[in-house]
Amino acid sequence: MNKSHTYIGAAVVLAVGLLGCLKTEFESRELTPGRADFYNYIAIGNSLTQGFQDFGLHNKYNEQENSFPAILAGQMKLVSPDIGEFVQPLATANGSGYMHLAEINGELEVLSADDLGGYGEDASWSSWADKTVKYNNLGVSGIRLTDCVPTAGDFLSSTINQAVVSFNPFGRFLDFGTPIINNVSYLDHVKSSGATFFTCWLGNNDLLLWCISGGEATPIEIGGVGLIDITPLTPANVFRNKYDSVLTALSRMGADGACSTIPDITSIPLFNTINEEATGYPIWITEGNGVVRVAEEDDLILLSASDYLADGTGQSQSDPLPTSQVLDKYEAAIAREHTLTLNQIIREAAEKYGFALVDNYDFLRPYEDGVVLDGVDYSTKYIEGGVFSLDGIHPNPKGYALTANVFIEAINEHYGSTIPKVEAGNYKGIIFPN
C-alpha cells in the first residue's frame, strides 16, 4: 500500500446522535440578480474551485461537473436566464486517478490510485482539455496565489512562479506560453476573461501545502528550472500585493464578485482524525526540531499516518512517526496565525474594492459537532460525516453543494440578489462498495 496517499478507514460506523439542526432556506421570493451582473461568471481558484476530490480530478460519476462554481452557475441562471453557458475543462472518467473505498478481506479500506486495485490515471489524462476553448472555471488544483501573479521587478522569482504554474498538470487546459520566452501568467487569463462576475478562492495552497508536508520543505523537480520547494508559507506582504493585483484587474474590467477566506485547517479530517482516542494507544511523533515525544492534544497527525501506524511506526519511542506525518503543536500554532493573517488581507481587499466576502474560515465550525440539514446528517468526521471526500481535504459533491450555498448567501446579502440555495442531499456523497 502507498504510505503517501492511502488512508485506511479503520472504523466506519453509523452516524450517531448528531447535534444541532439547520435548514436551507427555500422561502418563496421574487428571483432577481439584484445589483450583480452574472452574464459572464468566472471562477478563480485552486482545487476547491476546480472540483478536485478523493485526491484526484475525475468525472466518472459526474463529480467534477458538481464543482461548487458549476452548482453556483446553475443557480445564477435561475435569476438571470440569459447568462452564458458555464464551461469547465472536464476530466474524462478516472482523470488523474483517485482514491476509492473497497472491501478487502471483509474490511473496508481506502485505496489510492496507485494501489493494487486502485483507480489509476485515465488514458486521456496526458492530453485532457482543449486549450483553444474559453473556460469559465479557471480553478487549477495545487496552484498558489504567489504563482498566479508575476513578481514585480524580480525576474528570477517570476520565472520560477511561471515554471511552477506551467508544470502543473491540472492547469493543462490553459495556455501558459513558454517560460522566459513567452510567459502567459494565470493573471493574464483572468484579465482576458471578460468577466462580469467572479468568485475568487485563491490562497489556500499558500498555507496548506506547508501544512500537509508536516511543515517540512518538499522540493519537486520543475522542468528547465530544477528542484523547487513549493511548500513555504507565502509571506504576508507578498500575499497582500499579489491578491491586490488580482482584484485590481477584476475591478478595472468592471466585474462584480465575491472573495472567499481560507478555511481553518483544524476543521478538516486530514488533521483531526488520527489521535490517541482513535487508536487506543499513545502515538509517538517527531517534532519539526527533531524532538521525539508522545503526541498531545494540540498536535495534528495527518491521515496518511494511519498506514505508518498499521505497520508499527509511531507506537514506540524508538520508532516514532516522521515529522512529515505530523504538524506538531508549534507548527499548528504557526499555521493558525498565518491563516488569520492571510484572511485579514482578503477581508480588507474585498472591502477596498466593494466585493462580497465569503467567510469559509468558520463555515465548518457547526459541522464539528454535527448538524441535520434538510433532514440529512452531516459532520466533519472522516467518511461517515458526509461532507468530505476520501482525501480528507476536499469536499465530496454534497460538500461542494454546501459550499455553493455559503457563496450564495454572501452574494445575496451583498448584492441584493435572491439566488436560491440548493439541497445538498440531492448530490452524491462517498460511494461505498456494493
> What pLDDT, on the 0 to 100 scale, is given for residue 159?
81
pLDDT digits (tens, 9 = 90+) for 100-110: 999 999 999 99
Q: Give phi and psi for 233, each to the nearest 5.
A: -65, 130
- C-alpha 198/C-alpha 231 separation (Å) is 27
Length of the chain: 434
Q: Cα 50 to the chain's mean position, in Å? A: 8
CB of 68 closer than 8 Å to CB of 84:
no
The grid coordinates of residue 219 equal 522540493
> What pLDDT, on the 0 to 100 scale, is given for residue 152?
80
> What pLDDT, on the 0 to 100 scale, is given for residue 163?
84
Domain boundaries, the chain: 41-426
> What pLDDT, on the 0 to 100 scale, is given for residue 94?
96
Residues of the chain with pLDDT under 70: 1-28, 179-180, 223-225
> What pLDDT, on the 0 to 100 scale, is given for residue 198?
98
User: Cα–Cα–Cα angle for 283, 285, 269, nearest 5°?
Assistant: 70
User: What's the predicted TM-score (pTM) here?
Assistant: 0.91
> What pLDDT, on the 0 to 100 scale, is given for residue 179?
65
pLDDT digits (tens, 9 = 90+) for 168-204: 999 999 999 876 677 899 999 999 999 999 999 999 9
Q: What's at 32, amino acid-wise?
A: T
The grid coordinates of residue 420 equal 436560491
Question: Does domain 41-426 correspond to CATH entry 3.40.50.720?
Answer: no
